[in-house]
């Protein structure tokens, strides 16, 4: 006679329920990923956890690593991995868990059990959670974790509803202010790291590169709507959003700011590289064949994030560079600092003039 599956340890089950309750209150996407992975690791007594996004591009099914978690004694460490270049074919274990609603699969590798849990319905899973544990989980453990992962799925859907533009699925205008404040804080940390590295005669490229704000505007978009209709205008917006996702890194922040205007936030990008990054996107748009419309162009302006300036001033700088691009031929990329240094733009506010002069003095004196 088959023995009934052992029930999970009550204390572990309570901890899982507490983790679900905490998850329901988290609003930051990276925190949602981190908390989900850490809670699952603790429940399964895991030593290592990885969270993958699932991408189905017929006929290929691939996964991209979003982040990983390592347990060290009673402490867990989480690290984001979102470089946009980590898409890999699924191996048999990950593929196995995707063949059922919220399915799971397990394989023993040496002294460790490698476990995989699909997050989503059959054929529609958007994530796979992989846990490495020295202990083989029972069916009741897997079922309990499956319920927790449904909470993660629901929370992510709620996050998308509140934070994503309904048409393009880019971040919406409502989320911009909070993300902009984080970008300014990151720029301040990068500047401090650069100064500290200089004092120690060391240089850490990973943390001391500048942050940037770019504004993108589709050229002659009103004519597209007038000549081809809003249905094809919306298709242009969708294709532009897809090209943005392909051109920039996964952890770059991409917004639909309103109408045909988009915003890009970049962290840790060297000054020598930023023009090329935006130009690569502009060229991708110019070379793309849009349905019915044909070729479309966009103009871009960008500015370095200086934490000494207000958010309004920083956004104004990127806007001024964008306006210069549109007024001088369109289908081009311009940076605010370069325009000012070359005399093509003039700063009219006293605060702005003083800031530019301070930057020049720092470079040449």
Quote the CA–CA distance of 60 and 200 in Å, as a whole number: 49
Average pLDDT over residues 308-328: 95
Q: Record the tokens describing residue 88, joined without a space.
A: 């890999």
pLDDT tens string 63-102: 888 888 998 766 677 877 654 456 788 889 998 898 888 8
pLDDT at 197: 63
Give tens-digit pLDDT for 147-178. Answer: 999 999 999 999 999 999 999 999 999 899 98
Question: Residue 201 above 60 pLDDT?
Answer: no
Domains of the chain: 10-163 (3.30.450.40), 173-364 (3.30.70.270)
Instruction: Specify whether the CB–CB gap between 253 and 223 falls below 8 A.
Output: no
Look at residue 4 and tell me whether its pLDDT is greater than 70. no
Burial state string for 1-24 with b = 16 or more CB within 10 A and e = fewer than 16: eeeeeeebeeeeeeebeebbeebe
Tokens linked to 247: 């051109």
pLDDT greater than 70 at residue 6: no
**Average pLDDT over every residue of 29-36:** 92
229: left (phi over 0), alpha (psi -120 to 50) or beta: left
Residue with tokens 């399964």: 44
232-265: per-residue pLDDT in tens?
999 999 999 999 999 998 789 999 998 999 999 9
Chain segment 337-347, per-residue pLDDT in tens: 999 999 998 87
Percent of the chain with pLDDT strictly greater than 90: 66
CA dist., res. 265 & res. 256, Å (int): 12
- Calpha distance 206→266 (Å, rounded): 13
Q: What integer best gives the mean pLDDT of the chain?
A: 87
Q: Is the pLDDT of residue 314 over 50?
A: yes
Which residues 6+ apart lie within 8 Å of 157 measured at CB?
Answer: none
pLDDT at 346: 80
- Looking at residue 362, the DSSP 8-state letter turns out to be H
Residue pointed to by tokens 């460790």:
112
Do 324 and 301 contact (CB within 8 A), yes or no?
yes
From the list 292, 296, 270, the residue with the least C-alpha distance to 281 is 296
Q: What is the pTM of this model?
A: 0.77
């Amino acid at each position: 006679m088959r023995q009934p599956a052992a029930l999970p340890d009550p204390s572990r089950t309570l901890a899982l329920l507490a983790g679900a309750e905490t998850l329901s209150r988290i609003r930051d996407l990276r925190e949602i990923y981190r908390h989900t992975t850490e809670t699952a690791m603790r429940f399964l007594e895991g030593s290592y956890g990885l969270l993958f996004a699932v991408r189905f591009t017929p006929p290929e099914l691939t996964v991209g690593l979003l982040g990983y978690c390592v347990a060290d004694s009673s402490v867990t460490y989480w690290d984001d991995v979102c470089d946009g270049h980590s898409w890999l074919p699924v191996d048999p274990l990950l593929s196995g868990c995707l063949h059922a609603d919220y399915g799971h699969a397990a394989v023993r590798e040496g002294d460790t059990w490698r476990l995989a849990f699909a997050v989503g319905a059959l054929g529609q899973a958007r994530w796979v959670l992989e846990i490495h544990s020295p202990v083989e989980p029972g069916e009741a453990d897997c079922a309990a974790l499956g319920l927790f992962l449904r909470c993660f799925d629901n929370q992510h859907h709620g996050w998308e509803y509140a934070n994503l533009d309904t048409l393009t699925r880019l971040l919406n205008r409502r989320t911009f202010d909070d993300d902009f404040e984080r970008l300014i804080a990151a720029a301040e940390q990068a500047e401090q790291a650069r100064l500290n590295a200089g004092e120690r005669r060391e240089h850490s490229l990973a943390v001391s590169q500048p942050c940037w704000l770019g504004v993108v505007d589709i050229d002659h978009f009103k004519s597209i709507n007038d000549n081809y209709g809003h249905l094809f205008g919306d298709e242009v917006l969708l294709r532009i959003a897809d090209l943005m996702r392909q051109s920039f890194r996964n952890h770059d922040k991409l917004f639909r700011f309103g109408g045909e205007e988009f915003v890009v936030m970049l962290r840790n990008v060297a000054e020598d590289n930023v023009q090329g990054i935006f130009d690569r996107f502009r060229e991708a748009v110019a070379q793309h064949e849009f349905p019915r419309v044909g070729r479309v162009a966009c103009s871009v302006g960008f500015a370095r994030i200086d934490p000494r300036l207000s958010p309004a001033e920083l956004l104004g700088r990127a806007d001024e560079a964008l306006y210069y691009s549109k007024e001088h031929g369109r289908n081009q990329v311009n940076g605010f600092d370069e325009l000012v240094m070359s005399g093509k733009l003039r700063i009219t506010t006293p605060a702005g003039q003083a800031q530019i002069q301070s930057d020049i003095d720092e470079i040449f004196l």
